[in-house]
């Protein structure tokens, strides 16, 4: 059981380039989340999804887009990367309504030059 898997784990981009981070979970969870974490800080919610085909904005959605075409996958896209998007990105999933537990991936470290 792999849990939550993020790819890639590391990526370096130039300003203006685009890329997609993939999150895959094999637990049949309904809810999925994308967070970013900057050095010495907490996690900030970018976007989330409450089920296949749905997405919603979190605390810091600007500059990012997401898609949830399949229940097991949640994609985070950067259309035109900026240095301010240099961060560690974490994906998480949650089973259902009666829990607060999120299962996290190992993170994707993105550097924008």
Residues making contact with other proteins (CB under 8 A): 4, 31, 33, 35, 41-45, 48, 50, 56, 58-59, 90, 92, 94, 99-107
Toward other proteins, which CB reaches closer, 13 or 105?
A: 105
Toward other proteins, which CB reaches closer, 8 or 16?
A: 8
d(C-alpha 53, C-alpha 71), whole Å: 8
Toward other proteins, which CB reaches closer, 17 or 50?
A: 50
Question: Least Å distance between CB 97 and other proteins?
Answer: 9
The DSSP result for 79-110, as a single string, is: SS--GGG-EEEEEEEE--TT----EE---EEE
Q: What is the dihedral of CA 10, 14, 20, 26, to 10 degrees?
A: 10
């Amino acid at each position: 059981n792999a849990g939550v898997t993020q790819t890639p784990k590391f990526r370096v981009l130039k300003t203006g380039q685009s890329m997609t981070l993939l999150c895959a979970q094999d637990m049949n969870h309904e809810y999925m989340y994308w967070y970013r974490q900057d050095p010495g800080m907490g996690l900030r919610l970018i976007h989330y999804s409450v089920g296949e085909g749905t997405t919603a904005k979190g605390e810091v959605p600007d500059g990012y887009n997401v898609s949830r075409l399949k229940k097991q996958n949640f994609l985070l896209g950067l259309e035109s990367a900026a240095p301010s998007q240099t961060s560690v990105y974490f994906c998480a999933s949650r089973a259902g309504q009666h829990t607060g537990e999120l299962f996290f991936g190992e993170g994707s470290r993105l550097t924008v030059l």
